[in-house]
Structure 1
Amino acid sequence: MIEKKTISNIILNRKILGNNNIEFYDDYLNICYVFDHGAVRGAGVSICSICENNKNSKFIFHALCTDLTDNDINKLELITKKYNTTIVLYFIDKNANIIKQLDLGNFHVATWYRIFIPYIIECKKVLYIDADILNLAPLTNIFKIDINNYFIAAAPDTKKTNKDRNSMLNLKNHIYFNAGVLLINIDKWINNNCSNKILDIVKKYGHKLVLPDQDALNILFSTNKDTYYLDKKYNRVGLWKEQNIKEKLDETVLLHFVQTKPWQEAWLYEKRPYIENLYAEYEKLSPWKDMPLEKKEKLSYHDKRKRATFMFKHGNILKGLYWYKEYLKDKL
């Protein structure tokens, strides 16, 4: 059963980076991430983007994490010094029984950590943000939204995802939301036992939860008017597939890099009008500046085709031919 006591038992350690003279979290704007070593780079740059675009606001950044290296932690501490802010790290026992119950195998089990947030962070309202999101404009207005009568505030997902997931999960008259940005009403969540209800959903639906925690959250909050729907500017998903990209980008507050991540080599091989260099600009302001792009250990034939096209485009004919040959071998 999920409650404050059981969740406190899965926290192996808590570490405060930066200012540790904090008495009441509600005196600040609270933002929470979930990440491991593989996602800390994106999360760190995300935190820098918030600090850059909200210089007159007081934030506390919380992170539920596993498998961080000393170097990861040192880089996060550099952020707190540069921006005079605070990052609180909660190290989660990934082998705890409650977490094993949630492991469906289709995503990293850490994706479920966000359902523990209300039992860990002692404040009235917290903004959860995925590690692959950039803040591009002042964020403070989202905290002014009145969600006293709602469990969460979230933005609708793309039309295609809305149609596909509602059909698969048999959700009627529901607007499927993306769980990459969630403004959470802590008291209402706890008082209504939401995390345990999610456990029940996992037991009932199992591998039908293709987008596991996101699907479960949509199921939980599909029957009543429990969700306050945010403007899509607070979680802009798949912008590069839309019309009027430039106009929508200009009004975007939180830009969500779903699928290929901008710190991965594969990012170079895909067209992203107007946003190709956005992440790189913020990364230059972070402790991850000058790091090489991450390379996949195993390339799909789609990856090989995109790599070949990239090489041809940049005049590297021999490498382009090599990767096109590899693409054809895999495809045929």
Structure 2
Amino acid sequence: MPSEQRDVSVLHASKKPVHVAFGVDAGYYRGMGVAITSVVENNPGLDFVFHVFAFSITADNQKKLEKLKEQYGVAVQLHLLDTAALDEFRQFPCFSKHSLGTFIRLLIPTTLKGIADQVLYLDADLLCFGDLSDLLAIDLGDCIAAAVADEKDTTVNTQIPALGLKHGHYFNAGVMYIDVRNWVAADIQQVALKALSTLDMRFADQDALNIALDGRVRYVETKWNYRYHLVDYLTRGETKLNVSQPYVFMHFTGPVKPWHTWCLHDIRDLFTEIQSRSPWAESPLDGPRTARELKLFSKFLITQHRIAEGVYWHCRYLRSRLKQKLKSS
């Protein structure tokens, strides 16, 4: 970790920076901050510009972004999006089904036109454990993005036919290395926004991107977006990180994140270790809040033979469900 602040303007003048973008809403700033920390610590030879896209930000998180710039000597640019960018899509039937945060990922590359030729888009629920040089060296040619294929049978058998994908592949959009000029030339933003607003989709903006980029994706090795679905491991009572294949980005898909107190897995300790070196070091982990989270927590505890605790949290879940029913009646 750098011990002193570097002059970012001098660095940018001397070599081409690597542009990395995140799209976040209120609950993901901490995850993003720790993800950025992991990227910088594992790539000391690269000069980064981090772009943070959001519709809103608290004063506290804004201060932490400033501290992140000072601590690591990197550029961090906040892009507060105007909801007016979505006005023409509000009339469509499926628009109201999505939160504003769902649309952020679709707006990023066009916003960076003239700022970056390529941008590495990352979800905020991942960690970096290696060198990015090989990914950044990929020549995209006429492709618009590089991504990792989702080869699960459930995805291949459902999403490809459901979305009418002609090229037989479906990708996870949590890590995308994007050619901005090719994206803009193909009008991907408009195509994806229209698809998201007019079609009923299982995976929302990810499905929309698969439609818009069909046939224009360069598929790369799984190590660039290794999905680690924590709920599956915890449901089986597995708490140790045991991966047999190499990975650079580990992506924590699903409802359980490493910053949850109820993530009863070793990855939580690894996450908090990295968090301790970030501006979010003093931020407490998030406890279970929704009925679904309470139910999952009780399930994980019972699976690990912590029966009394599991029963307690299951009672909390039942009470939460009762309150919901009373409120809706």
Fold agreement, TM-score > 0.5: yes
Q: Could you tell me which amino acid in structure 1 is paired with residue 31 of structure 2?
A: G
CA distance in 2, matches of 1:98, 1:252: 40
Contact 1:123-1:186 at 8 Å conserved across structures:
yes
Contact 1:37 1:72 survives alignment (8 Å): no
Within-5 A mapping of 1:162-201:
162-201=156-195
Cα distance per residue 1:104-156 (max 9 Å; x no partner): 34543223222222222222111000111111111122110000220111111
One-letter amino acid of the counterpart of residue 181, structure 1: V
Q: Which segment is superposed worse, 94-103 or 232-241?
A: 94-103
**Aligned counterpart, 1:114:** 105
CA distance in 2, matches of 1:26, 1:215: 36
Q: 1:313 to 1:199 in 2, by over 3 A?
A: closer
> Alpha-carbon deviation of 1:169?
2.1
Distance 1:324 1:246, change over 3 A: closer
**What is the match of residue 217 of structure 1?**
209
Task: Tell me which of 269, 278, 300 is aligned to 2:270.
Answer: 278
Alignment pair present for 1:257 and 2:249: no
Change in 2 beyond 3 A, CA 1:304/1:115: closer
* 1:6-155 superposed matches below 5 A: 19=8, 27-94=16-83, 96=85, 97-98=87-88, 100=90, 104-121=95-112, 122-155=115-148
Q: Distance in 2 between matches of 1:37 and 1:25?
A: 35
Amino acid at match of 1:112: F
User: Is there any run of 5+ residues in structure 2 with no aligned partner, and where?
Assistant: 1-6, 234-239, 323-329
3-state SS of paired residue (1:277)? helix
What is the alpha-carbon root mean square deviation over aligned residues?
3.2
Shift of 1:173: 4.7
Q: Output the amino acid matched with 2:252.
A: F
| 2:141 alignment partner, SS class | coil
Q: Cα deviations across residues 87-107 of structure 1 (Å, max 9, x unaligned)?
A: 000111235515746873454
Q: C-alpha displacement at 1:295, in angstroms?
A: 2.6
Q: How many residues align?
A: 303
Verify the 8 A CA contact 2:52 2:77 in the aligned structure 1: yes
Mark the runs of 5 or more structure 1 residues left unpaired by the alignment: 1-17
Q: 1:285-329: per-residue Cα shift (whole Å, max 9, x none)? A: 1111242221343223x7336326527958683x44333445678
CA distance in 1, matches of 2:217, 2:63: 37
* Structure 2 partner of 1:306: 297
Share of identical aligned residues, percent? 28
Contact 1:25 1:123 in 2 (8 A): no
Query: SS state of the match for residue 51, structure 1?
Result: helix
